[in-house]
């Protein structure tokens, strides 16, 4: 998709390290992290996994499935893939990237056709892939081709499908200059 044409990732990163801005970002990260664990009761911060029909009585099988999903979520999936990463660490990293770059990226790793784990990927290294000539001619993306690429030292080192890469922006914009990227708050601070 070509490089982002607004303020560079390096500049956004430097702005995010300024003491006052860093303190604000860390406060928000800490607030988000409060929701990284199961809520002990309905009046506390945290998350709740429940059946779709919250009014229906849950079976023992549903309770066991929810407990297994909660354990999987808290460990970000299979530890053979993500090591000792916790859901809290995942949210802290994802939130920092979102607040600095307005881009939060995570990889979903599949085993035997099912999601086995998920992990944060450095958002400053992920770009939407450029559409091929054929895709441009047809006016739509081929769902089988890479939707995102990882660029390190100006080289594409990995490709990801839409199912393999979570791409989140909080402040979308329609401008051509934005090229599908978000509008980070830090960009508003930078005189252009």
The whole model's pTM is what?
0.87
Q: What pLDDT, on a 0 to 100 scale, did the predictor assign at position 3?
A: 47
The confidence band for 141, taking pLDDT boundaries of 50, 70 and 90, is confident
Residue 1 pLDDT > 50: no
Distance CA 35, CA 153 (A): 35
pLDDT for 192 beyond 90 = no
User: Average pLDDT of the chain?
Assistant: 90
Query: At residue 186, does pLDDT exceed 80?
Result: yes
Residue 150 has pLDDT above 50, yes or no: yes
CA 2 to chain centre: 20
Q: What is the band of 25 on the pLDDT scale with cuts at 50, 70, 90?
A: very high
State the pLDDT confidence band at 69, using cuts at 50, 70 and 90.
very high
Instruction: Give the phi and the psi of residue 165 in degrees, each rounded to 5.
Output: -130, 120
> Is the separation of the CB atoms in 102 and 183 below 8 Å?
yes
Distance CA 21, CA 5 (A): 23
Place of tokens 């000539």: 133
Q: Is the pLDDT of residue 174 over 80?
A: no
Q: What SS3 string covers the chain?
A: CCCCCCCCHHHHHHHHCCHHHHHHHHHHHHHHHCCCCECCCCCCCCECCCCCCCCCCCCHHHHHHHHHHHHHHHCCECHHHHCCCCHHHHHHHHHHHHHHHCCEEEEEEEECCEEEEEEECCHHHEEECCCCHHHHHHCCCCCCCCCEEEEECCEEEEEECCCCEEEECCCCCCCHHHCCCCCCHHHHHCCC
Band of the pLDDT at 184, cuts 50, 70, 90? Answer: very high
Dist. CA 3–CA 163, nearest whole Å: 22
| Residues 111, 7: Cα–Cα separation, whole Å | 38
Token pair, residue 3, equals: 């490089």
């Amino acid at each position: 998709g070509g490089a982002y044409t607004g303020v560079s990732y390096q500049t956004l990163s430097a702005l995010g390290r300024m003491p006052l801005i860093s303190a604000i970002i860390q406060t928000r990260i800490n607030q988000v992290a409060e929701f990284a664990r199961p809520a002990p009761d309905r009046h506390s911060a945290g998350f709740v996994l429940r059946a779709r029909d919250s009014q229906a009585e849950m079976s023992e099988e549903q309770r066991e499935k929810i407990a297994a999903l909660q354990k999987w979520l808290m460990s970000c999936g299979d530890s053979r893939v993500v090591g000792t990463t916790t859901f809290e660490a995942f949210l802290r990293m994802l939130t920092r990237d979102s607040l600095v770059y307005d881009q939060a990226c995570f990889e979903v790793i599949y085993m035997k056709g099912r999601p086995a784990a998920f992990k944060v990927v450095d958002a400053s290294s992920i770009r939407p892939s450029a559409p091929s000539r054929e895709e441009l001619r047809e006016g739509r993306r081929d769902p089988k081709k890479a939707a995102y690429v990882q660029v390190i030292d100006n080289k594409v080192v990995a490709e990801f499908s839409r199912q393999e890469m979570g791409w989140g922006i909080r402040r979308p914009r329609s401008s051509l200059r934005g090229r599908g990227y978000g509008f980070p708050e830090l960009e508003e601070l930078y005189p252009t």
